Amino acid sequence: MKKLSNWLKQLDENLVKILLIGFIFFVPLWPKLPFKMVNYTYVAIRFDDIYLAILVFIFLIQLLRKKVFLNKKFILPFVIFLSAIFISFFWNSYVSKNIEFPHLGLLHSLRRVEYMIMFFIASSVIKTKKNFWQVISYFFISVLLVVLYGLGQKFLNFPAVQTMNPEYAKGYVLYLTSDARISSTFGGHYDLAIYLVMAIPIILSFYLAKIKKFYLYLFIGALLILLYTSSRSSFIAYFVATIAFLLFIRKFKFLIFVLILTAGLMFTTGEITKRFLKTFQVRRILVDDRTGAVYIGQTITTKELPAGSFYVKLKNQSKGDNLDKFRNQIVREKVREATLSGEISFSEEEKYIATLSANLKPIDTVVSDISMATRFQIEWPRAINAFKKNPLLGTGPSSLTEATDGDYFRWLGEFGLLGTITFLNILFLILKTIWVGVKKLSFNEKLIGYGFIFGFLALFINASYIDAFEASKVAYTFWTLAGLYIGYYSLNTKTNLNKS
């Protein structure tokens, strides 16, 4: 009876920590299967939302019972930011009417609360250094499982559940083709890549601090999966953050090893190199002088990254027109469309052909790929226009649709200056707290703190091109890690705990 009583007491003392460890596994590993779809969007209530609701409920009970404690230093900054978000939501839903579906705007607002509450839950369970080492070790195991599943997806035809388009988001189980970019247990290859670049500096920091080969092998596996995602922005984030981290801690020999390894794996996998080469392409295109329409001669395949219609005209134009075949193809297609739509009659075809041919001018250009062109021409201008509409509050959560492909543009467009500045203030406060916390520690403990800081740098670089802080699996992981590190380094600022 006494043993049972002691066991129940230990369970009561550690219940939040146990559930948090479960969440650390559940979030990256459970596929994004919908529990209930939200009307007018492909956003869904998922099983991780249900798990988190249970975790938050237990956390609040334990908080009232004083089994866990909030980090009071961060309460006010978080409250100010979330207040800014809900002010933006109410203003744009019910006053300026910029949010077409208020229930969707409310969902997007509540998602911020949902993601960020993990910071307080994670920081509350770190009562000793031993707690930190225990919980963070499970994070590394979850990364290992993500890597292993990714390898299985690449070589053993493991299934995928993706949210890359509205149809996939309904929860279909997919089997990827051999040339497809892998997503492992994530909703898309971009989410997976962001998760890995955030984790890699942390993994390296533990390898260099503890010199255990497990972390080195985990780094190699994570890098390999990152390359298989073929995410250029994430690779740039990895490259900049990792080199900066190793230079900062003066691990020059290990840096050479990392550079050689990265180059070798890039050569082995190959796809990401091809994607970089397709980012900007020198092409001779056709531009309709009358309408401004752009026509690019190219063959679209699953292996080719097509060029977009965003281009920069080259100063020196080559003489002659080598696009006769392509011009004739465009003219035929346009004539057929105009005839079928009734825009012209059969008797007017010759005149239409002559006019159209005369208007199509060949131009030597540098064109961007379709991914970058979409950002330059649609998503980023839309966010900038939203910011101009209301610089203080933006046009509200969800107003820029599901994707802006750049968090800074999304923050300014949806939340305005008030939401953006208050959010950046939280991030700055987290970094400052960890930076100050590492100063009086041993070199190995400093390394671990620097690993998070440079992992954050990788995430911040990625956020310039992808909605990194909006991806649920990434957001949950970031706020959980931030909470764990704040909890750990807060111990060192309060007391001189030397026990592990």
CA distance 256 to 261: 9
CB 406 within 8 A of CB 467: yes
pLDDT over 70 at 146, yes or no? yes
More confident of the two residues 218 and 333: 218
pLDDT over 70 at 309, yes or no? no
Looking at residue 496, its pLDDT comes to 42
Looking at residue 500, its pLDDT comes to 37
CB 397 within 8 A of CB 89: yes
pLDDT over 90 at 153, yes or no? yes
Please name the amino acid found at residue 95: V
CA distance 21 to 118: 12
User: What percent of the chain clears pLDDT 90, i.e. is strictly above it?
Assistant: 49
CB 159 within 8 A of CB 174: yes
C-alpha 353: how far from chain center:
47
Summarize pLDDT for 2-23 with one digit per residue, the tens.
Answer: 777 778 788 888 899 999 999 9
pLDDT over 90 at 307, yes or no? no
Q: What is the 3-state secondary structure (H, E, C) of the chain?
A: CHHHHHHHHHHHHHHHHHHHHHHHHHHHHCCCCEEEECCCCCCEEEHHHHHHHHHHHHHHHHHHCCCCCCCHHHHHHHHHHHHHHHHHHHHHHHCCCCCCCHHHHHHHHHHHHHHHHHHHHHHHCCCCHHHHHHHHHHHHHHHHHHHHHHHHHHHCCCCECCCCCCCHHHCCCECCCCCCCCCCCCCCHHHHHHHHHHHHHHHHHHHHHHCCHHHHHHHHHHHHHHHHHCCHHHHHHHHHHHHHHHHHCCCHHHHHHHHHHHHHHHHHHCHHHHHHHCCEEEEEEEEECCCCCEECCCCCCCCCCCEEEEEEECCCCCCCCCCHHHHHHHHHHHHHHHHHHCCCCHHHHHHHHHHHHHHEEEEEEEEEEHHHHHHHHHHHHHHHHHHHHCCCCCCCCCCCCCCCCCHHHHHHHHHHHHHHHHHHHHHHHHHHHHHHHHCCCCHHHHHHHHHHHHHHHHHHHHCCCCCHHHCHHHHHHHHHHHHHHHHHHHHHHHCCCCCC
Summarize pLDDT for 277-288 with one digit per residue, the tens.
Answer: 777 676 766 677
Paired sense of beta strands 34-37 and 44-46, if any: antiparallel
Please name the amino acid found at residue 134: Q
CB 74 within 8 A of CB 429: yes
More confident of the two residues 2 and 180: 180
pLDDT-derived band at 499 (thresholds 50, 70, 90) equals very low
User: What percent of the chain clears pLDDT 70, i.e. is strictly above it?
Assistant: 81
Q: Positive or negative, the Cα torsion across 375, 377, 380, 383? A: negative
For tokens 């334990």, name the residue: 62
CA distance 192 to 181: 10
Looking at residue 241, its pLDDT comes to 96
Summarize pLDDT for 433-451 with one digit per residue, the tens.
Answer: 999 888 878 888 899 999 9
Over residues 25-50, mean pLDDT? 80
More confident of the two residues 240 and 470: 240
Looking at residue 431, its pLDDT comes to 94
Summarize pLDDT for 118-133 with one digit per residue, the tens.
Answer: 999 999 999 888 999 9
CA distance 21 to 356: 65
Average pLDDT, the chain: 85
Name residue 307's beta-bridge partners. Answer: 369
The alpha-carbon radius of gyration of the chain (Å, integer) is 26
CB neighbours of 91 closer than 8 A, spacing ≥ 6?
Answer: 390, 393, 396
Summarize pLDDT for 402-432 with one digit per residue, the tens.
Answer: 677 889 999 999 999 999 999 999 999 999 9
Over residues 200-217, mean pLDDT? 93
Looking at residue 441, its pLDDT comes to 82
Summarize pLDDT for 72-104 with one digit per residue, the tens.
Answer: 899 999 999 999 999 999 999 999 988 888 888
CB neighbours of 182 closer than 8 A, spacing ≥ 6?
Answer: 150, 153, 154, 160, 176, 189, 192, 225, 228, 229
Name residue 287's beta-bridge partners. Answer: 294, 361
Of 175, 186, 181, 173, nearest to 32 (Cα)?
A: 186
Query: And the tokens for 57?
Result: 């409920």
